[in-house]
Amino acid sequence: MSTIQASSLIPEPQNRTIRAPRGSERTCSTWQTEAAMRMLMNNLDPEVAEHPESLIVYGGRGQAARSWEAYDAIITTLKRLKPDESLLVQSGKPVGVIQTHKDAPRVMIANSNLVPHWSTQEHFDELSSKGLMMYGQMTAGSWIYIGTQGILQGTFETYAECARMNFGGTLAGTLNVTGGCGGMGGAQPLSITLNGGTCLIADVDQSRLQRRLDDDYLDELVGDLDAAIDRAVELKSQKSATSVGWCGNSITLLERLIERGIIPDTLTDQTSAHDPLQGYCPIEYTHEQSIEAREANAADYQKLALASMRRHVEAMVTLQRLGSVTFDYGNNIRQRAFDEGFKDAFSFPGFVPAYIRPQFCLGRGPFRWCALSGDPIDIYKTDYALLQLFPKEDGGYNERLHQWILGCHKNPEALLNQDFANCEPRFAFQGLPCRICWFGLGERDKAGLLFNNMVQSGAVSAPIVIGRDHLDCGSVASPNRETESMKDGTDAVSDWPLLNFAANIASGASWVSFHHGGGVGIGFSQHAGQVIVADGTPEAADRLARVLRNDPMMGIFRHADAGYEDAIQCGRDQSVDIPMA
């Protein structure tokens, strides 16, 4: 166990407030570079980042840059970067500028990668404490985190599929229990209520719960544990789509539910269990006590955290056996519990094999976009345009798309009537106004070209950035999450994210990234990201058409190769060239 002090693993905090520029005037040589700069800055906007003073965006210690000196150097370099040059970033530090060409990525990023034999938390922490590496998480170090909304629609999709498979298509009249209300977990209460369910969520950090309450992701806060449980049970009986937050340890909540014989209809967890030092709070401590304890003795703290993770998963398995539909939400807590000696830790499945893989077989995954203008009306206009591009009447996932986009608005009638000035968001934008939805192969490129046309025509007032989570159909190898229980046993094969990284470079993405660790921790995943800018030019249209077809096509290749018939058929339907299918 590491003896490194916790404070040595994160940058020294600075009292800065960073916000991305808005509008149609740029300071960089191209919109591709301008967008990279603005999205890096947006990652550190106090409305977006968890701890921007220490460059931490989300996920315990997922950083946007390695140090403040590195951040300043990145910004300075981007402002002078020529249209045929590319910046190389190694674990959050700019290390060189190379001459490329105008269709090459303006930035290429590699974060947290270690040779497999040395790919341990201890070795990573040693390098991090010396300022030689940083943890990029998924979208923190790749400059495309957009706040809690970034995971919201994927969480919505997960619960929608859970509802379809288990509860007749809706979560109305169900109690859905979870833990962790940070940058990722904060999406859970709203995703549940958008699907009609009652949510009860715990977090040890009152400020996280309050933040979700302020941003309309969470509906109520109840201080007493039993009162919070009683309130949630009452709301369930009323079939009320309402979320209740309680400040305390998730273990305490689950064990109290067991004591009282209250069995949730669904159960998951999104505490930061991938990081036993910075991310997870042991049962022995309050949030405030944990801050001091991890600094006083990091090794002892991690032992307590890991022991608590075992106890946490034991409670989840108990509730599963009592009838809860239980699934892992990708934080690697089952692996931690298993390593602590709990043999039944993997009794419940991960969310990808349980609910998402059939969508991956169609190239479906997260598609997010951001209005560089800073004007929410530009997002509302794209919302409306997508509803027209993908009519609900065509059925399939289009119905869920309409449910999602209309659910993002307090007054959907204003959107449908194109009364954009009177549109109101159902939940607050964080930083630059952004949106996300799930699209598949044959849909992403259509949406990207639509946006490019809107920029070209002046329908929106500035270029639009299009990116995605690294959690996508063909961009990640993560045996305890995205690639868990693959049909052919290739869970740990990481050739696929490497091919994805290379394909997006060759296709002309505006910036690309390749990371290690993500939401499950060092040693457990490798994953790639891409971002592409719609600036209204014909050259951008060519890049968008290539990138937004080839990127999701990697999901078809990956799943067809593993033997999934849906992926093979999708490839046939869309004329994908799969040599051995």
**Residue 573 burial by Cβ neighbours in a 10 Å radius (0-12, 13-18, 19+):** exposed
φ/ψ of residue 533, rounded to 5: -105, 130
Strands 243-247 and 198-203 come out as: parallel
Pair type for strands 266-267 and 325-326: parallel
Q: How many residues does the chain have?
A: 581
Indicate if 423 belongs to the active site.
no
Residue bearing tokens 């209300």? 181
**Strand arrangement, sheet containing 175-179:** 220-221, 243-247, 198-203, 175-179, 266-267, 325-326
Q: 179-213: b or e for each residue (b if 16 or more CB lie within 10 Å)?
A: bbbbbbbbbbbbbbbbbbbbbbbbbbbbebbbbbb
471 closest CA partner among 482, 483, 480: 482
- Taking a C-beta distance cutoff of 8 angstroms, is the pair 199, 178 a contact? yes
Distance CA 492, CA 101 (A): 34
In angstroms, rounded to a whole number, what is the distance separating the alpha carbons of residues 236 and 238? 5
Distance of CA 393 to the CA centre of its chain: 30
427, 433 contact by CB (below 8 A) = no
Q: Counting Cβ atoms within 10 Å, is residue 292 exposed (0-12), middle (13-18) or buried (19+)?
A: exposed
d(CA 180, CA 273): 10
Tokens of 471: 């959690």
**Single-letter amino acid code for the residue at 17:** T
Distance CA 501, CA 246 (A): 41
529 in helix, strand or coil?
A: strand
Rounded to an integer, what distance in angstroms lies between the CA atom of residue 525 and that of residue 59? 15
User: What residues does 51 pair with on adjacent strands?
Assistant: 56
Considering 370, 437, 473, 570, which one is annotated as catalytic? 437
Active-site residues, by number, are 437
